[in-house]
A and B are shown apart, each in its own frame.
Chain A
Amino acid sequence: MNFLIGENLTGGYGGADIIRNCNVSVGTGEIAVVVGPNGAGKSTAMKALLGMLSLRKGRVLLDGNDITGMSPQERVSHGMAFVPQNQNVFVTLTVEENLEMGAYLRRDDITETMNQVFELFPVLKEKRGQLAGELSGGQRQQVAVGRALMTRPSVLMLDEPTAGVSPVVMDELFERIIEVKRTGVAILMVEQNARQALNIADRGFVLVTGENRFTDTGEALLANEEVRKSFLGG
């Protein structure tokens, strides 16, 4: 069952179309990964799903409802959460305040959700009073994911969560993301580290120059000779 669907997404930032007839989807309790070479439109496709891009063609469905006309803020209040690649934490706020701001739209008690985030990322509990700007890259990414989880989203979208972190941190972050998936959240992420990402992916989308080239399960894509040669470095 597809929870979030982007259908025939076509559009760009005003000039030429960056993505053309792009199809991306993810189901509840699944991880979907979008991979591809630089400039393939991976991040753009994700922004299109979030409504940060004006589409010329295509539509976005969330839980069966057409949300193409919604602003990013409205989509957030409808259960979509987004972790941008850069500047994804409030550097002058403490870790705890970052999480509180993630839950800004919620009017109920957020302590339980915050405890869940602390359980998922124990280091954040330790550093809850510290400014997010003083943390290491990997810890910042944890704050960023934690902030997004505070709305209790049904879809979590991550734009290159492992960019700039060490391989060890990357593995750990992926493990945490799998744990989030098990709680019934649909996860869609764009990744540079294609091989590792496809390893944990239930489905994968290979984009090239803004179009779908391959779409399959992560396992099948990893096994595909052509995908391996062209995109995974052999």
Chain B
Amino acid sequence: MENSIDLLNALVLISNYVLIPSLSYGSQLAIGAVGVTLVFGILRFANFAHGELMGFGCTATIFFTWWFQSMGISHSFFPTALFAMPFAVLLTILLVLAIDRSVFRFYRLNKSRPVIFVVASVGVMFMLNGLVRMLIGTDEIIFRDGQKFLIKAGQFKKMTGLNEGLALKQTQVLTVVLAVVAVFLLFWFLQRTRTGKAMRAYSDNEDLALLSGISTERVVMVTWIIAASLATIAGVLYGLDKSFKPIVYFHLLLPIFASAIVGGIGQPIGAILGGYIVAFSEIITTYAFKKFITYLVPANFAPEGLGQLLSTEYKFAVSFLILVLVLLVRPTGIFRGRVL
């Protein structure tokens, strides 16, 4: 009896600190990485501005949220940001299309090499970076309202009588649900619609797509619209779940690229899998397993150290390590994408 209670405690502990956070962080990375991978598949360059695009989408959402709140629009259960997000998505789409017109289109018409696009996207990244800071400043902003927890740790303990509590934040559930919906819609679009198929055809074989009458500009436009929508959703979910800080979106670029590359760049399904791989690796390697192990082994075997592989400050090293390993061992990634 004692043993099975300990086992349950250990399971709750690991769910609370590893499983649930990884699922929600992984979903955020996955939506971000799908955007990167789509742009890579169609426009054939690694878009370094994608992280900042997430930041811009979140900034726009915060402004709409504040505006709605000032008009008294909010919900007792859902965060206001959820209703503000569609408007922010539209704004981000407009911004991205304007950037494509004024920056990337020029290089596309000149048939520039991919590396030139990459450098141009770094420029766009810095520009967006500055724009976000000018608009909203550099401070941390918490814009979450509505009900914070679906299950509180204390409640859970009382309900189950276990030592360990399980907290489930609304944003975590929201993240996973929105990610599933977004991914489902994306795949339905890519697999079932004429434009989606044309995008896949263009990504597969550009010359043959042109010979079939598929128009580059149209495919590119649809790609940007999808990328901007996904970037906003990912940016908002991350900001809601934690908090909004402009610099964070710059940092997120590394795990997002790692996710896209692990899964095979150019492959949406790979980017999703990659997102979860990176999130789980990051959280597992930086989690202190001492308590977890103590529950499972006889008392005299309990570890003395923290049972932590890496200190949390090094979490970005995990993405970096994954990135390097994949590029060395299997540069095409799990689902055989392109080689960067």
A, B bound = yes
Which residues of B (36-83) have their CB < 8 Å from a CB of A? none
- Write out the residue numbers on chain A whose beta carbons fall within 8 Å of the beta carbon of B214: 101, 104
* Cα–Cα distance between A100 and B200 once the two chains are bound (Å): 12
The verdict on B211 contacting chain A, using a C-beta distance below 8 Å, is: yes
- Write out the residue numbers on chain B whose beta carbons fall within 8 Å of the beta carbon of A93: 197, 200-201, 204
Contact A92/B204 with A73-B213, A97-B197, A101-B197 known, Cβ cut-off 8 Å: yes
Instruction: Determine whether the beta carbon of A151 is less than 8 Å from that of B204.
Output: no
Contact with B along A97-117 (1 / 0, CB 8 A): 100111011000000000000
* Cα–Cα distance between A147 and B201 once the two chains are bound (Å): 12
Min CB–CB distance B206 → chain A (angstroms): 10
* Cα–Cα distance between A88 and B194 once the two chains are bound (Å): 20
Instruction: Determine whether the beta carbon of B204 is less than 8 Å from that of A104.
Output: no
* Candidates A72, A97, A102; contact of B210 at CB < 8 Å: A72
Which residues of B (69-120) have their CB < 8 Å from a CB of A? none
Instruction: Determine whether the beta carbon of B211 is less than 8 Å from that of A76.
Output: yes
Instruction: Determine whether the beta carbon of A105 is less than 8 Å from that of B208.
Output: no
- Write out the residue numbers on chain A whose beta carbons fall within 8 Å of the beta carbon of B203: 92
* Candidates B197, B198, B207; contact of A84 at CB < 8 Å: B207
- Write out the residue numbers on chain A whose beta carbons fall within 8 Å of the beta carbon of B211: 72-73, 76, 82, 84
The verdict on A65 contacting chain B, using a C-beta distance below 8 Å, is: no
Instruction: Determine whether the beta carbon of B212 is less than 8 Å from that of A147.
Output: yes
Contact with A along B204-243 (1 / 0, CB 8 A): 1101111111110000000000000000000000000000
* Cα–Cα distance between A77 and B214 once the two chains are bound (Å): 11
* Cα–Cα distance between A91 and B204 once the two chains are bound (Å): 7
For B216, the closest partner residue in chain A by CB is A73
Instruction: Determine whether the beta carbon of A90 is less than 8 Å from that of B201.
Output: yes
The verdict on A124 contacting chain B, using a C-beta distance below 8 Å, is: no
The verdict on A22 contacting chain B, using a C-beta distance below 8 Å, is: no
The verdict on A87 contacting chain B, using a C-beta distance below 8 Å, is: yes
Instruction: Determine whether the beta carbon of A90 is less than 8 Å from that of B210.
Output: no
The verdict on A26 contacting chain B, using a C-beta distance below 8 Å, is: no
- Write out the residue numbers on chain B whose beta carbons fall within 8 Å of the beta carbon of A147: 208, 212
- Write out the residue numbers on chain A whose beta carbons fall within 8 Å of the beta carbon of B198: 101, 104
* Cα–Cα distance between A93 and B214 once the two chains are bound (Å): 15
The verdict on A89 contacting chain B, using a C-beta distance below 8 Å, is: yes
- Write out the residue numbers on chain B whose beta carbons fall within 8 Å of the beta carbon of A151: 212-213
For B213, the closest partner residue in chain A by CB is A105
* Cα–Cα distance between A151 and B212 once the two chains are bound (Å): 8
* Cα–Cα distance between A77 and B205 once the two chains are bound (Å): 19
Instruction: Determine whether the beta carbon of B213 is less than 8 Å from that of A104.
Output: yes
Instruction: Determine whether the beta carbon of B210 is less than 8 Å from that of A101.
Output: no
* Cα–Cα distance between A154 and B277 once the two chains are bound (Å): 52
Residue from the set B200, B209, B210, B213 with the largest chain A CB neighbour count within 10 Å: B213
- Write out the residue numbers on chain B whose beta carbons fall within 8 Å of the beta carbon of A101: 197-198, 201, 209, 212, 214
- Write out the residue numbers on chain B whose beta carbons fall within 8 Å of the beta carbon of A73: 210-211, 213, 215
Min CB–CB distance B266 → chain A (angstroms): 10
- Write out the residue numbers on chain A whose beta carbons fall within 8 Å of the beta carbon of B205: 87, 89-91
Which residues of A (23-52) have their CB < 8 Å from a CB of B? none
Min CB–CB distance A77 → chain B (angstroms): 6
- Write out the residue numbers on chain B whose beta carbons fall within 8 Å of the beta carbon of A105: 212-213
Instruction: Determine whether the beta carbon of B208 is less than 8 Å from that of A87.
Output: yes
- Write out the residue numbers on chain B whose beta carbons fall within 8 Å of the beta carbon of A102: 212
Contact A104/B194 with A73-B213, A91-B205 known, Cβ cut-off 8 Å: yes
For A50, the closest partner residue in chain B by CB is B211
Instruction: Determine whether the beta carbon of B212 is less than 8 Å from that of A76.
Output: yes
* Candidates A77, A88, A97, A100; contact of B208 at CB < 8 Å: A88
Min CB–CB distance A203 → chain B (angstroms): 25
Min CB–CB distance B325 → chain A (angstroms): 26
Instruction: Determine whether the beta carbon of B200 is less than 8 Å from that of A92.
Output: yes
Min CB–CB distance B271 → chain A (angstroms): 15
- Write out the residue numbers on chain B whose beta carbons fall within 8 Å of the beta carbon of A104: 194, 198, 201, 212-214
- Write out the residue numbers on chain B whose beta carbons fall within 8 Å of the beta carbon of A92: 200, 203-204
- Write out the residue numbers on chain A whose beta carbons fall within 8 Å of the beta carbon of B204: 90-93
26 A–B pairs (Cβ distance < 8 Å), ordered by A: A72-B210, A72-B211, A73-B210, A73-B211, A73-B213, A76-B212, A82-B211, A84-B208, A87-B208, A90-B201, A90-B208, A90-B209, A91-B204, A91-B205, A92-B200, A92-B203, A93-B201, A93-B204, A97-B200, A100-B197, A101-B201, A104-B201, A104-B212, A104-B213, A104-B214, A105-B212
Q: Which 4 pairs show the lowest CB-CB distances between chains A and B?
A: A105-B213, A90-B204, A101-B201, A92-B204
Write the residues of chain A forming the contact surface with B, with a CB cutoff of 8 angstroms: 72-73, 76-77, 82, 84, 87-93, 97, 100-102, 104-105, 147, 151
Contacts beyond the supplied A76-B211, A87-B207, A90-B208: 19 A-B pairs with Cβ under 8 Å = A73-B211, A73-B215, A82-B211, A92-B200, A92-B203, A92-B204, A93-B201, A93-B204, A97-B200, A100-B197, A101-B198, A101-B201, A101-B209, A101-B214, A104-B201, A104-B212, A104-B213, A105-B212, A147-B208
